[in-house]
Structure 1
Amino acid sequence: MTQLFVIGAGPGDSDLVTPKARNAIEACSDLVAYGLYLDLLGDVCNDKAHHDLPLGEEIGRAKLALDLAASGKTTALISSGDIGIYAMATLVFELLDQQLQGKADNPAWLDVEIEVIPGISAMQAGAARVGAMLGHDFCTVSLSDLLTPWETIEKRIHSAGSGDFVVSFYNPKSRKRDWQINTARDILLQYRPASTPVLIGRQLTREDESIRIIRLDQLHADDIDMFTMVSVGNSESRHIVNGSREWVYTPRGYRKKLV
């Protein structure tokens, strides 16, 4: 049986690629990914056939990976972060589901052995950079309305606000979409203080990484681009400063035990 590894390569720092992901890539003859992800992985991708499809070609990427594996080539489909979070893994299984319903055109996909290998997500990398922002209940919301209606996204933001979750926003802005993050800010301000700490992490763990900690009422689309992830604390999240070092943590409720 042929093999397809569906791999999360982490946020960008090669030291954060898991040994299991690295071993799987080394075992492959063919790698399918957006080219930047292969560049970030470095030498482990040497001597492999690279199949680089641009952003926006996600369906083509998933089909190609399944086709290569079905043809007998040990293949890796690679995304940054965790490939199961707003990434390619779900598309692979959606295609398999279609094939099982007779709506796809390659029955050989069903003979492919698939292994999903998780990676460190951007929200985890960002939270670690500033301390322990995800220390209590949290959720993620993608602000991209390309595949999900804005009415659904807005409902989820309200739910996150009323539930007092720490919220990590993926896809907060693109070239054609710049108003959603400001709307999300205004919704959350209905549920938590203006002083709530916000992490703005751009190109997390990569060479040009930048990190800022601001207040919720200071959050604005002008300070964000498509390479940015935004995490908003809950009503209990704390921003502490020790000299030149800043931290954000979200307490779990140990305060009474610490007294």
Structure 2
Amino acid sequence: MSAGWLAISGLGPGGGALVTPEVTDALAQATDVIGYIPYVARVAPRPGLTLHPSDNRVELDRATHALRLAAQGARVVVVSSGDPGVFAMAAAVFEALEAGPPAWGLLDIRVLPGITAMLAASARAGAPLGHDFCAINLSDNLKPWSLVERRIRLAAEADFAIAFYNPRSRARPDDLDRAFAVLRDACADRRPVLFARAVTTPEEVLRIVPLPDARGDMADMRTMVIVGSSRTRLIDRPGAPILYTPRSAP
């Protein structure tokens, strides 16, 4: 069995204070860090550490590279933003593991959780995820848009609060507007929509608008979009309002 190990780690939503001690310890022991370019850039270089940044959409190549290095005895940390198990690298590593040689199954592989964007955004605004909710990745790179649309419609009909990941990009400028159109068709009310950009960083901006006024160009790929349920409420007060969903439903 290789003496190497692989830690699939979440760096949290952006602020250094929200990186867990467990992840910090793994990075301190690592010989190699692998991940998407902006996430690897959050790891400080040091002697004995090799950084392996790579472009987006090469998750399986990245995962395979990590497994090979660990099998050769390296101490490897694969980094994701937020939590590695939420639309991130943990699933990609296990896909590569399942397709790889049997010897990889003997590796020491750990998933180290992080604070994901929907939880950080929810905390910044109050508690919009205080009752039942779901998370939907709006990217249709790995699934058809028809499936995305069906899940949005069913979530709206079930009256979940919805956290939208990957809401909008240069390659997908219209997906969030399409999602809002589905929601308006499924629930004709003024439930609040939270746009939380770059939470926990100096560039953080929070904006809350009613669903009829929500537009896709209010978000980019650094934005977490949370659509409240019919029960989600806004408490006006001096300064920033509080957005929350009561714990009970009639």
Calculate the TM-score normalised by the size of structure 2: 0.94
- The one of 175, 193, 196 equivalent to 1:198 is 193
Q: In terms of mean alpha carbon deviation, does 182-191 or 134-143 score higher?
A: 182-191
Partner of residue 155, structure 1:
150
Partner of residue 62, structure 1:
63
Partner of residue 53, structure 1:
54
Partner of residue 88, structure 2:
87
Counterpart AA for 1:46: R
Q: In terms of mean alpha carbon deviation, does 63-72 or 187-196 score higher?
A: 187-196
User: Distance in 2 between the 1:171 and 1:137 partners?
Assistant: 21
**How far does residue 107 in structure 1 lie from its aligned partner after superposition?**
4.4
Counterpart AA for 1:97: E
Partner of residue 102, structure 1:
none
**How far does residue 60 in structure 1 lie from its aligned partner after superposition?**
1.6
**How far does residue 108 in structure 1 lie from its aligned partner after superposition?**
3.8
Counterpart AA for 1:26: A
**How far does residue 216 in structure 1 lie from its aligned partner after superposition?**
0.8
Q: What is the DSSP-based 3-state SS (H/G/I as helix, E as strand, rest coil) of the residue aligned with 1:245?
A: coil
How do 1:1-259 residues align onto structure 2 when only pairs under 5 Å count? 1=2, 2-41=4-43, 43=44, 45-47=45-47, 48-99=49-100, 106-253=101-248
User: Distance in 1 between the 2:138 and 2:71 partners?
Assistant: 35
Question: Is residue 33–residue 51 contact of structure 1 (8 Å, CA) maintained in 2?
Answer: yes
What's the CA shift string for 1:4-46, capped at 9, x where partnerless?
00101100101000111111111111111123213334x4x53
User: Distance in 1 between the 2:166 and 2:99 partners?
Assistant: 27
How many pairs are equivalent?
247
Counterpart AA for 2:192: P
User: Distance in 2 between the 1:192 and 1:236 partners?
Assistant: 12
User: Distance in 2 between the 1:205 and 1:170 partners?
Assistant: 17
Q: In terms of mean alpha carbon deviation, does 189-198 or 206-215 score higher?
A: 189-198
Question: Is residue 84–residue 118 contact of structure 1 (8 Å, CA) maintained in 2?
Answer: yes
Counterpart AA for 2:150: K
**How far does residue 246 in structure 1 lie from its aligned partner after superposition?**
0.9
Calculate the TM-score normalised by the size of structure 1: 0.91
User: Distance in 1 between the 2:185 and 2:136 partners?
Assistant: 17
User: Distance in 1 between the 2:73 and 2:102 partners?
Assistant: 14
Question: Is residue 139–residue 166 contact of structure 2 (8 Å, CA) maintained in 1?
Answer: yes
Q: What is the DSSP-based 3-state SS (H/G/I as helix, E as strand, rest coil) of the residue aligned with 1:59?
A: helix
Q: In terms of mean alpha carbon deviation, does 196-205 or 74-83 score higher?
A: 196-205
Q: What is the DSSP-based 3-state SS (H/G/I as helix, E as strand, rest coil) of the residue aligned with 2:187?
A: coil
